Structure 1
C-alpha cells in the first residue's frame, strides 16, 4: 500500500499558504524526486508526510489509514542538518539505537565505525553524523523514507557513497524513498520519477 498525501495544505500562523490542495503518492520500493526552489515548503511537506506535523487541510494516509506518529514509525525522515536531528547530550550509541538496535551489517554498509558510537555528536564530522542518522531511520518497521536534502552539506565523494548505499538498501527492502532536493542532476540520476513542487 502506498504512502499518500491527499489535498494537503500548510501555512504558518496567518501567513500565506506555502502549498494548498497538493497530493502525492509514494509506492513501496519506489524512488521519487520532489524538486522545488528554496522556501517553497518542501521540508514542511516532508514533515507532514512523516507525521512530525499535522496538515491544516487534507490528510496523510498509509495502508488505507490516516497516519499517526508513534515510536517505531513506518515513515522516517532524514534531515539536511543532522546536528539538529540528534540530542547533543547523547552518545551516538544511544541515538542510533533509539527505538531499535541496528545490526553490524547495516552499520558496516553505511561505513559507521564502532568507535564513533562512543562519541557525542559534536565529535563527529557532518558526514559521519549523517550516516548515524540514516542508520537510526532504517529500523525494521520502516516502510518509507523522506530524505530532505540529505547530502547537500557533504562533499561529493561522501554524497556518492551514501546514495549508493541508500539505494541498495531501499531496493533490497522495498522501502519507498522520497528525495527532496533542488539538485535536478541528482534527482534525474537516482529517481524513477520526479514531482515538481513550486
Structure 2
C-alpha cells in the first residue's frame, strides 16, 4: 500500500497485510507445499513515504543472460508501482564497468504520483517530457555503484527497488535475484 496517511489508516493497512496470509491463493500454496497454517508468521514493514521524481528497478546482474558484471536499470517518472505493475514502459539502461553501454528511452505517457491527503493518482506526463530520460547516464552509474555496495553487503546479486528525490537515491527494497544460475566454482 502506498501513501497511507495517519495512524488509524496505517494500522488498518497492516491488518490487511496480515489478512493476506489467508487468501485462497496463500492457503492453496501452503497446502501444496506442506506448510502448516499455524506455523506461518508475517512481519509488516512500514516505511516513510518517498515522493520521487523517478523510480525503478536495478538488477546488479543481468537477469536474462546471468552476466554478473552487467547491471540493468529500469526507470520511469514518479512512483515505481507504475513500472513494476506494468502500467508504464520504462527506460532501460545496461551498465558494464561503470559505463552505460546501452539504453532504450521509452515514451513515458503516464506516471503515478502520491496525493497530499493519501493514496495515489495516475497522471499524464507533459508531452515535452515524455521522451526525456528519467535518469542521466551519470545518475545511472551512481545508482549501479550503490547497488554494487548493497550486493557486496548481502553477498549475492540483488533485485533493488529505488527512488530518486531531490536528496538523492533512496533504496526501498533489496532482495536476491532468484532467476540466476549458480556461478561455477
Give the TM-score taking structure 2 as reference length: 0.22
Structure having the higher helix fraction is: 1
Structure having the higher strand fraction is: 2
Give the TM-score taking structure 1 as reference length: 0.21
